Amino acid sequence: MGLADFVAAVEQLAADGVAAFAEAADATSVEQARVGFLGAKQGRLKQVQQLLGGLSATEKPAAGRALNEAKERLQAALEQALARTEQQASTSVARAAVDLTLPGISRALGHRHPITQTIQRLIEIMGRMGFEVAEGPEVEDEWHNFEALNIPADHPARDPLDNFYLANAGGILRLLRSQTSTVQVRVMEMHEPPIRIISLGRVYRPDEADATHFPMFHQIEGLLVARGVTMANLKTTLNDFAKSYLGSEVPIRFRPSFFPFTEPSVEVDLHWQDRWMEFGGAGMVDPAVLAAVGYDPEVFSGFAFGLGVERLCMRRHGITDIRDLYSGDVRFLRQF
């Protein structure tokens, strides 16, 4: 498939989706249309997106723009359909016979989980700095989870005892992703610089659950790739992030460290409540990672950082045991 055929397929997809949302008569049909066109697994937009892999590197930027425009049209049509059907439902309820003399019944309404609240806050903060949200699959192959991130076959991070490997299907070994850096690789494969994205999502590591570890947790990864990016840009970004999230001037410091996909690498600490606390890992994107996705490391540079969402949530709210966040105990959750 060439670029012209891909763009034609994307335009047809957008036209079909807009028509389907316009014809949806109730909330059920709107949801069916949403799953059919915007579903994360089997939606038509996802299916067309997979065709990007068959295009050449020079065609992918234009194809990506067309795909993003189609997604925006579908999202706008979905929001209009939701607003229309909600208004219709409200009107129907208002017209129903209601005995206004009956006493009201007080019901406690639920609210968002503290981790969800934290994720939404992080997206808001980074969005003000120009970072867009990118998503990727939780089941990954070894290329995106390891090799493209400069983690060779003999690296300890690939030990089966430290990862959730899945059955070998079709000759491709897959695993539950151990880091959200995989999303950064996928974005760089599909788009030319400059890139400014964050990825948030679940990651999996076979850690024994205790007060500070859990086999499933959330990460936020940030990536900026452009011309002339330096460590000063990284520190400024994390300074602004810490100040916005914690609501005051928060000093941060860098400590030398090592990560296969950044060079130089640093551990980031923040000074909060009279002590230094580990904030996350960061560094300049390793030239080998840039080369692996087709970027010229002599022209472009970038920084990346990774932070634990649960850790940020716990520090902000004074939670001492990560297991409380997944206990489902409503007495604990009502506090947030």
Q: Which of 216, 186, 185 is nearest to 201 (CA)?
A: 216
Amino acid at 55: L
pLDDT of residue 93: 62
179 and 315 assigned to the same domain: yes
Residue 205 inside a domain? The answer is yes
What is the chain's alpha carbon radius of gyration, rounded to the nearest angstrom?
23
User: CA–CA separation, 163 vs 139, rounded Å?
Assistant: 12
Tens of pLDDT, residue by residue, the chain (336 residues): 688 888 888 888 888 888 888 888 888 888 888 888 888 777 888 888 888 778 888 888 888 888 888 888 888 888 888 888 888 777 666 566 566 677 877 776 778 899 999 999 999 999 999 999 999 899 988 888 888 888 888 888 888 888 898 877 667 788 899 888 889 889 988 899 999 999 999 999 988 888 888 999 999 999 999 999 999 999 999 988 888 887 777 788 899 999 888 999 999 888 877 788 787 899 999 999 899 889 999 999 999 999 889 888 888 888 888 999 998 888 888 888
Report the domain count for the chain. Answer: 2
Cis before residue 194, ω within 30 degrees of 0?
A: yes
Alpha-carbon distances, residue 47 vs 35, 65, 219 (angstroms): 12, 16, 26
206 and 304 assigned to the same domain: yes
pLDDT of residue 92: 65
Cis before residue 251, ω within 30 degrees of 0?
A: no
Look at residues 32, 60, 92 and tell me which one is the last residue of a structural domain. 92
Q: Which domain holds residue 231?
A: 114-333
Asked whether 218 and 309 are in contact (CB, 8 A), the reply is: yes
Residue 103 inside a domain? The answer is no
Q: Which residues contact 172 (CB under 8 A, 6 or more apart)?
A: 141
pLDDT of residue 232: 93
Looking at residue 204, which CATH number applies to its domain?
3.30.930.10
DSSP-assigned states of every residue in 77-95: HHHHHHHHHHHHHHHHHHH
Look at residues 61, 92, 123 and tell me which one is the last residue of a structural domain. 92
Residue 104 inside a domain? The answer is no
Residue 97 inside a domain? The answer is no
210 and 171 assigned to the same domain: yes
Residue 259 inside a domain? The answer is yes
178 and 301 assigned to the same domain: yes
Residue 279 inside a domain? The answer is yes
Look at residues 92, 125, 156 and tell me which one is the last residue of a structural domain. 92
Residue 304 inside a domain? The answer is yes
211 and 287 assigned to the same domain: yes
pLDDT of residue 96: 60
Residue 102 inside a domain? The answer is no
User: CA–CA separation, 90 vs 253, rounded Å?
Assistant: 53
310 and 192 assigned to the same domain: yes
19 and 119 assigned to the same domain: no
